[in-house]
Amino acid sequence: MAQLTLAELTEAMHAFVRDKGWYEPGSQRPQTLRNLAISLSLEAAEVLEHFQWRDAAPGEVEDRAALASELADVALYLLQIASLSGIDLEQAILDKLRLNYGRTWDK
């Protein structure tokens, strides 16, 4: 599959959600910002499970495919929350990086 921009990934995510009917009134999975934020948090916790009880070295992953799947879930919810909130995620990331370059942390 070709590389996609964040905008193209966001549209692909919306197409999937629409196809499943989750944007429809009365859906069993209403796509409210609250529900999406909860889902994002739950999926992020599933990322943590890959490292629970292990002190993995950088690059050391027990099940790379399973971790990739969880990271994709996190990214999809993040894209959806940003889109439905009217936030330009690319610009928000660039703004945050610019802000962080001006910050200092303990070494």
The region, left, alpha or beta by phi > 0 then psi within -120 to 50, assigned to residue 2 is beta
> Which of 101, 88, 106 shows the shortest CA–CA distance to 10?
88
Quote the pLDDT of residue 1. 65
Q: Can you list the domains of the chain with their CATH numbers?
A: 6-101 (1.10.287.1080)
Quote the pLDDT of residue 59. 80
Q: How far apart are CA 1 and CA 36, in angstroms?
A: 27
Q: How far apart are CA 9 and CA 101, in angstroms?
A: 27
Quote the pLDDT of residue 92. 97
pTM: predicted TM-score of the whole model, two decimal places: 0.89
pLDDT, tens digit, for every residue of 42-97?
A: 999 999 999 888 887 878 888 999 999 999 999 999 999 999 999 999 999 999 99
